[in-house]
Amino acid sequence: MNGYQLTFYTEQNRRHGHHTVTEWLLHEAKQLGIHGATVINCAEGTGQAGAHHAAHALRLADQPVQVILAVTEDEADRMLQLVEQERVHVFYTRTPIEFGLLGDEGQTAAAKRHFPLFGRRPPH
């Protein structure tokens, strides 16, 4: 499938209303029916105003964060329109991509049974 990778760049401490920008973006993506998102906490970066942002051992508030979505053209348009309507101040990139799902869902379910997270076993 062809679509776009939307990447939003923000900082850990940036807020929109009562939530961080990251939390708000994830919530709104889910409300729009966008089913996958990746959040990457970065070590450091330079913002659009030229300011240096970095995670420090004792203070992570200024840590750069990326929120990445793989979306259809319609989903990209609706997400960007919503961000603009809500006046969320955030830098983004929109890159054309091809995406899809590989493998058999049955194999994925079987692998989860054989490799449980944190040593927990599913009930029999």
Mean pLDDT within 110-122: 51
Architecture of domain 2-119: 2-Layer Sandwich (3.30)
C-alpha to C-alpha distance for 21 and 87, rounded to whole angstroms: 11
What are the pLDDT digits (tens) for 89-107? Answer: 999 999 999 999 899 876 6
Q: Which pTM does this prediction carry? A: 0.73
Residue 75 pairs in a beta bridge with none
Mean pLDDT within 69-93: 96
Mean pLDDT within 11-24: 89
Q: Is the pLDDT of residue 60 over 80?
A: no
C-alpha to C-alpha distance for 81 and 73, rounded to whole angstroms: 12
Task: Give the residue extent of every domain in the chain.
Answer: 2-119
**What is the residue-averaged pLDDT of the chain?**
80
pLDDT value for 79: 98
C-alpha to C-alpha distance for 38 and 83, rounded to whole angstroms: 18
Q: Closest Cα partner for 62 from 2, 115, 20, 111?
A: 20
